[in-house]
Amino acid sequence: MLSKTAPRPFLLALVAIAVTTVVGLFLLWPDGSPEVELGAAPTGETIPGKIEALRSNPCPPPLQGECLSGEVLLEDGPESGETVPVELSSGGPAPSFSVGDSVRVARATFGGQEPVYSVVDFERRSPMLWLAIFFVALVLLFGRLRGALSLIGLGASLAIVLVFIVPAILDGRSPLAVALVGSMAVMLLTILLAHGWGPKSLAAILGTAVSLSLVGLLAVLFTNLTNLTGFSSEEAAILATNDSGISVSGLLIAGMVIGALGVLDDVTISQSSTVMALKAADPAQSVATVYRRAIDVGRDHVSATVNTLVLAYVGSSLPVLLIFGSGELGLVDAINLEIVAKEIVATLVGSIGIIAAVPITTALAAWMSDTMDEDEIRLAAEDGHHHHH
């Protein structure tokens, strides 16, 4: 329940955020006809199969090296149960296949000729499904009802990304606007589902909204100042060559906003919880005292969180770091390359947003806790989850 005495400005701000988000979703909603045709995406259905035999032969000219071919038993489709010849690699580096591997096979027919089969990829869905089931079971076991609600929140977040954010960007809408509106929608859903309508959620939502907007501004500013084009990744190059009209630097900015969101939710809820718990422990203390004590807790949290963010980015760009570590390029030159620079800018922009979120949310929560009576504070604190990193 929302606090009966939450200060008017807070409630008005919450209503403003909610209304803006809904209007934004309405205005930016994709109309279902993507303007972008991505020709480079793998096309067509694939058939599950199992590798029965492998052969390695010298490649026919002009190709060099060894070409790998084999036999695959098709496990679905009209030719289910048949064994067909496939080409696995033509010379260059190739994934290591072995007999017995489950793979996905593409079938192509040219004119009236025999169909040609090629192995597109490994079959990965079954182990991924088991991993997902294990994850869901753990969350439910450990988090019970809260866990179930957070899973629903996670599902809702993914739905917003797949149903709104991606199609709207493909539709040629501004990636930054789409990312901000989508992120606000994700934030409202996840915080309200996992933590209810209490004053704690209210402070966290306002804190996250301000910090996200800050991340958006900084992302735009520094993507422009550092002239990041977004063309350093293969995927972006595909979007660019197809003359898709999608702003690739806009995608970069959108990625920074969405990347920061996950961590922001966590920090703002924790700070809000901390304030309510401190205030409940001693309702007589002043706003300033509560703020000061909660900020001390926040400092520990920020250092842990920024570390998390930096490691996440470093982890995602390890292959890049290895190339630079091989000594072909000095550190100073490496940092200037876009593929590294964009990770640095993203990490710093996200981290600044997270650091800013702590005092903003703490101040909002402390101000709010001051207008609540003791029962409300106790309720808000009991409903808190205190997680420590």
Contact between 376 and 2 (Cβ < 8 Å): no
| 187 plus 117 within the same structural domain | no
Integer angstrom CA distances of residue 290 from 10, 294, 304: 19, 6, 22
pLDDT tens-digit series, residues 345-377 = 888 898 899 899 999 999 999 988 888 777 877
In a domain, 131, yes or no: no
| 51 plus 19 within the same structural domain | no
If one compares 333 and 25, the residue with the highest pLDDT of the two is 25
| 203 plus 247 within the same structural domain | yes
For residue 287, the one-letter residue type is V
Q: Which domain holds residue 197?
A: 8-35+144-382
| 325 plus 185 within the same structural domain | yes
pLDDT at 103: 87
CB atoms closer than 10 angstroms to residue 230: 23
* C-alpha–C-alpha distance, residues 214 and 203, integer Å: 17
* C-alpha–C-alpha distance, residues 74 and 81, integer Å: 5
| 26 plus 108 within the same structural domain | no
pLDDT tens-digit series, residues 118-175 = 888 888 888 899 999 999 999 899 888 888 888 888 898 899 988 998 888 888 888 8
What integer best gives the mean pLDDT of the chain? 82
| 164 plus 227 within the same structural domain | yes
* Number of alpha carbons in the 13 Å side-chain half-sphere of residue 264: 35
In a domain, 137, yes or no: no
| 151 plus 292 within the same structural domain | yes
| 305 plus 344 within the same structural domain | yes
pLDDT at 92: 63
| 296 plus 341 within the same structural domain | yes
The residue behind tokens 């292959």 is 319
In a domain, 3, yes or no: no
| 167 plus 311 within the same structural domain | yes
Out of 123, 152, 183, a domain closes at 123
Q: What is the mean pLDDT of residues 250-279?
A: 88
* C-alpha–C-alpha distance, residues 342 and 228, integer Å: 7
Least confident of 151-160, 247-256, 307-316: 307-316
Split into its structural domains, the chain has a count of 2
Cβ-based neighbours of 266, under 8 Å, separated by 6 or more? 305
| 156 plus 211 within the same structural domain | yes
